[in-house]
Structure 1
Amino acid sequence: MNIEELVIKLRILRDKGFLPTKRTGVNGVSCTLKQELNNLGKFELELKTSKKNTNEMLTLFIKEPLSVPVRGKDKYLLQHFGTHSKKDNIERELYTTIGSTKFNSQGFKLVTKNEKIKLIHLEKEIEIFWDRKLLQQIFEAKIGQVVLILADFKGEGYDEEFHYNTAYLLKGFNYDGFVEAIRHEFIKVDLRMVMNKNFKVKNHGTSFRVIKSKLPLCFKEVIKII
């Protein structure tokens, strides 16, 4: 199915009004859409679905930051900022969500400066960052073009209903919009790593997550298709 065929299906779906959910929980809006579109088959673009006016988040991509020195970043973070784990085989762990408006409970904060997204700490000086080139490379490799479909909703649980009435075709990485989303905490970063009893580190991936409805901020072209 191509974009033209998708637009036709979405317009038909829009005209149906509110539709009962096919599944309860946070995946209801995407599961219901998929079934209503008859599972689409192979589609050339990635689809993202969200309820309007909610703070539901999705993972944009997973990318480890650059650091100075280059080696030993994860072990340093765990040794200085990780907490002791109650798990038998884990010595320390660091699971934390980081925004830009204030330092979090573990002392981390994001700042945007000189075309870098920097991770800073309240008490210790650290040199950990993602620069513009790195972010553009990973964004274009992992995301590229996206169709974002938004739905009004009402009810809860098994009684929830969705009206799929807005959709955008999103193209091209917008670094300035990405930075603006970070400054407003529409995008946050998750650190997820552990150190075992032998002091070996396992990083589960540093992820950038965005409020679904704010995804268009990250793109140069935002084309309304319904």
Structure 2
Amino acid sequence: MNLKELVEKLQTIRDMGYVKALRRGNTGIGYTFESLIGLEETNIPIPDIGGRVEIKTTRKDSSSLVTLFTFNRGVWLKKQKEIIEQFGYEDEKGRKALKSTIFYNRPNSLGLYIDIDDSKNIIRLFSSNHELLAEWDVYVVVGVFSSKLSRLLFVLADRRTIRGQEEFHFNEAYLLTEPNPRNFLNAFKNSLVGIDLRMHLKENGTVRNRGTGFRMREKDMLELYGNKRNLL
């Protein structure tokens, strides 16, 4: 499929108006769109723009957060076990745990907060007593993001519910390329991207870290890219 053929398919789907969801729940929108466009995968090859393109679909009125990627390697400046013991709580399984999403300028209930060093392009995580716990190099973070989502077909839909049946109107689409470190920093500053801590202590006292996630609302992903091409 080339870009011209993709645009023609998108226009055909848009002109269908509201279509019934082919699956219930959060994944219904992606499954419905992929079925309409005739795909069995969440990415498509488009040679004339340089390779495979990931597909993301979202409801325009959705405010739920999604994990863009996880990244832990070499970021912790204090032992994770000590962090959990100092700031954690007992979770529903009786484990000492630390699970929280933290946004810039919005300290969480434990007093953990994010600061940004513009001159060095560093995102830092501090405790309530200003102890530095971890830091992420924005260029490394964007590199991880780019390796997963360097080219994105981003499709948005209005939705409605008729007699309990969800329906979608896929009427907005963008081709997003060139993830940008400066855009990523600005997204952090605007509290569009948050850092999601997801770790606990196992019975033997060792740390189980499911990966520190970078999370945002899907519809805000437009803000991360340097090149946005409107396809609809």
- Provide the TM-score with structure 1 as the length reference: 0.89
Distance 1:79 1:155 in 2: 46
Match of 1:219 in 2: 225
Match of 2:112 in 1: 108
Aligned length: 222
Q: 1:187 to 1:198 in 2, by over 3 A?
A: same
Q: Kindly provide the CA deviation profile for residues 169-220 of structure 1, in whole angstroms up to 9, marking residues without a partner as x.
A: 1111212221222222221111111112321111101111121111011011
Q: CA deviation at 1:85?
A: 4.1
Match of 2:199 in 1: 193
Q: Kindly provide the CA deviation profile for residues 105-125 of structure 1, in whole angstroms up to 9, marking residues without a partner as x.
A: 122222222311111222351
Between stretches 156-165 and 53-62, larger displacement belongs to 156-165
Q: CA deviation at 1:104?
A: 0.9
Unpaired runs of 5+ residues, structure 2, are 46-52
After the TM superposition, list the runs of 4 or more consecutive aligned residues in structure 1 that deviate by more than 6 angstroms: none
Match of 1:52 in 2: 60
Distance 2:186 2:5 in 1: 33
| CA contact 1:65–1:128 (8 Å) conserved in 2 | no
SS of the aligned residue for 2:215 comes to strand
Match of 2:34 in 1: 34
Q: Kindly provide the CA deviation profile for residues 76-134 of structure 1, in whole angstroms up to 9, marking residues without a partner as x.
A: 2112111134536x4x1111111113211122222222311111222351241111221
Match of 2:213 in 1: 207
- Provide the TM-score with structure 2 as the length reference: 0.87
Distance 1:183 1:156 in 2: 39
**Is 1:83 aligned to residue 84 of structure 2?**
no
Taking the TM superposition and a 5 Å limit, the aligned residue runs for 1:157-176 are 158-176=164-182
Between stretches 11-20 and 79-88, larger displacement belongs to 79-88
Unpaired runs of 5+ residues, structure 1, are none
Match of 1:21 in 2: 21
